[in-house]
Amino acid sequence: MKYEMPEINLKALFLGDKGENVDLFKELLLKMVDEHVGWRQNYMPQDLPVITPQDRSSKDFQETADHMRSVFNVLSSKLRTHSLPWHSAGRFWGHMNSETLMPAIIAYTAAMLWNGNNVAYESSPGTSQMEEEVGHEFAALMSYKKGESWGHICADGSIANIEGLWYARNMKSLPLAIKEVAPEFVEGKSEWELLNMSTEEILEILDQIPEQIDEIKTHSARSGKNLQKLGKWLIPQTKHYSWLKAADIIGVGLDCVEQIDVDDNYRMDITKLEEKIRDLAADQIPVLGVVGVIGTTEEGQVDRIDKMVELREKLAKEGIYFYLHVDAAYGGYARSIFLDENNEFIEWDQIDEVYAKHNIFTEKCEWLTRDVYESFKAMSQAETITIDPHKMGYIPYSAGGIVIKDIRMRDVISYFATYVFEKGADIPALLGAYILEGSKAGATAAAVWTAHKVLPLNVTGYGKLIGASIEGAYRFYDFLSNKEFKVGDKTIHVYPLTKPDFNMVDYVFNEEGNTDLEKMNKLNHDFFDQASYVKGGLCNNEFITSHTDFATPDYGNSPLPFVKSLGFSEGEWDREGKVTVLRACALSPYAHDKEVFEEYAVKLEKAIQCKLKTIYNETK
In the complex, least distance from residue 187 CB atom to its own copies, rounded to whole angstroms: 26
The only residue of 189, 198, 216, 227 in contact with its own copies, by rule CB under 8 A: 227
Q: Enumerate long-range contacts of 418-423, CB under 8 Å, 24 or more apart.
A: 420/119, 420/120, 420/121, 420/122, 420/123, 422/121, 422/122
In the complex, least distance from residue 500 CB atom to its own copies, rounded to whole angstroms: 17
The only residue of 140, 159, 508, 586 in contact with its own copies, by rule CB under 8 A: 159
Is 364 a binder of its own copies (CB under 8 A)?
no
Which residues between 529 and 568 bind its own copies (CB under 8 A)?
532-534, 538-539, 542, 546-549, 551
In the complex, least distance from residue 129 CB atom to its own copies, rounded to whole angstroms: 7
Which residues between 24 and 43 bind its own copies (CB under 8 A)?
24-26, 28-43
H, E, C per residue of 393-448:
CCCCCCCEEEEECCHHHHHHCCCCCHHHCCCCCCCCCEHHHCCCCCCCEHHHHHHH
Burial class (CB in 10 A: 0-12, 13-18, 19+), 55: exposed
- With H, G, I as helix, E, B as strand and everything else as coil, classify residue 311: helix
Which residues between 168 and 197 bind its own copies (CB under 8 A)?
170
Is 95 a binder of its own copies (CB under 8 A)?
yes
Is 606 a binder of its own copies (CB under 8 A)?
no
Burial class (CB in 10 A: 0-12, 13-18, 19+), 555: buried
Residue in 243, 239, 254, 460 with CA at minimum distance from that of residue 357: 460
Is 400 a binder of its own copies (CB under 8 A)?
yes
Q: Which is nearer to its own copies, 188 or 553 (CB)?
A: 553
In the complex, least distance from residue 21 CB atom to its own copies, rounded to whole angstroms: 7
**CB under 8 Å to 261, separation ≥6 — which residues?**
237, 268, 269, 272, 556, 558
Binding marks (x or -) toward its own copies, 451..490, rule CB under 8 A? --xx------------------------------------
Contact between residue 383 and residue 167 where contact means Cβ atoms under 8 Å apart: yes
Please choose, out of 91-99, 187-195, 261-269, 337-345, the segment that lies near its own copies by the rule CB under 8 A: 91-99
Please choose, out of 149-157, 207-215, 261-269, 273-281, the segment that lies near its own copies by the rule CB under 8 A: 149-157
**CB under 8 Å to 607, separation ≥6 — which residues?**
91, 542, 543
Residue in 582, 452, 585, 563 with CA at minimum distance from that of residue 516: 563
| Gap between the Cα atoms of 309 and 339, Å rounded | 20
Q: Which is nearer to its own copies, 203 or 436 (CB)?
A: 436
In the complex, least distance from residue 539 CB atom to its own copies, rounded to whole angstroms: 6
Q: Which is nearer to its own copies, 197 or 579 (CB)?
A: 579
Q: Which is nearer to its own copies, 70 or 482 (CB)?
A: 70
**CB under 8 Å to 249, separation ≥6 — which residues?**
162
In the complex, least distance from residue 596 CB atom to its own copies, rounded to whole angstroms: 5
User: Helices in 155-269 by DSSP H: which ranges?
Assistant: 157-181, 191-194, 199-208, 213-219, 242-250
Which residues between 104 and 123 bind its own copies (CB under 8 A)?
105-117, 120, 122-123
Please choose, out of 178-186, 493-501, 508-516, 592-600, the segment that lies near its own copies by the rule CB under 8 A: 592-600
Q: Is the dihedral of CA 374, 380, 383, 388 positive or negative?
A: positive
**CB under 8 Å to 372, separation ≥6 — which residues?**
302, 501, 502
| Gap between the Cα atoms of 230 and 195, Å rounded | 7
In the complex, least distance from residue 432 CB atom to its own copies, rounded to whole angstroms: 7
DSSP secondary structure letter of residue 144? P
Backbone angles phi, psi at 551, to 5 degrees: -115, 155
Is 601 a binder of its own copies (CB under 8 A)?
no
- With H, G, I as helix, E, B as strand and everything else as coil, classify residue 283: coil
In the complex, least distance from residue 498 CB atom to its own copies, rounded to whole angstroms: 17
Determine if residue 319 is left, alpha or beta; phi over 0 gives left, psi from -120 to 50 gives alpha, anything else beta. Answer: left
Active site residues: 419
Is 44 a binder of its own copies (CB under 8 A)?
yes
Q: Which is nearer to its own copies, 187 or 595 (CB)?
A: 595
Please choose, out of 206-214, 218-226, 341-349, 376-384, the segment that lies near its own copies by the rule CB under 8 A: 218-226
Q: Which is nearer to its own copies, 174 or 372 (CB)?
A: 174
Q: Which DSSP helix (H) or strand (E) runs through 288?
A: strand 287-293
Contact between residue 524 and residue 549 where contact means Cβ atoms under 8 Å apart: no
Which residues between 417 and 446 bind its own copies (CB under 8 A)?
417-419, 422, 432-433, 436-444, 446
In the complex, least distance from residue 553 CB atom to its own copies, rounded to whole angstroms: 10
Is 57 a binder of its own copies (CB under 8 A)?
no
In the complex, least distance from residue 441 CB atom to its own copies, rounded to whole angstroms: 4
Burial class (CB in 10 A: 0-12, 13-18, 19+), 426: exposed
Cα separation values, 501 from 105, 121, 294, 494, 593, Å: 29, 40, 9, 19, 20
Is 605 a binder of its own copies (CB under 8 A)?
no
Which residues between 60 and 79 bind its own copies (CB under 8 A)?
60-72, 74-76, 78-79
Is 235 a binder of its own copies (CB under 8 A)?
no
Please choose, out of 15-23, 365-373, 377-385, 477-485, the segment that lies near its own copies by the rule CB under 8 A: 15-23
Is 84 a binder of its own copies (CB under 8 A)?
yes
Is 87 a binder of its own copies (CB under 8 A)?
yes
Please choose, out of 174-182, 188-196, 415-423, 560-568, the segment that lies near its own copies by the rule CB under 8 A: 415-423
| Gap between the Cα atoms of 582 and 180, Å rounded | 54
Q: Which is nearer to its own copies, 69 or 364 (CB)?
A: 69
The only residue of 152, 172, 240, 276 in contact with its own copies, by rule CB under 8 A: 240
Is 295 a binder of its own copies (CB under 8 A)?
no
Q: Which is nearer to its own copies, 330 or 338 (CB)?
A: 330
CA 342 to chain centre: 24
Cα separation values, 417 from 219, 414, 424, Å: 20, 10, 15
The only residue of 145, 241, 319, 353 in contact with its own copies, by rule CB under 8 A: 241
The only residue of 237, 297, 458, 503 in contact with its own copies, by rule CB under 8 A: 297
CA 55 to chain centre: 48
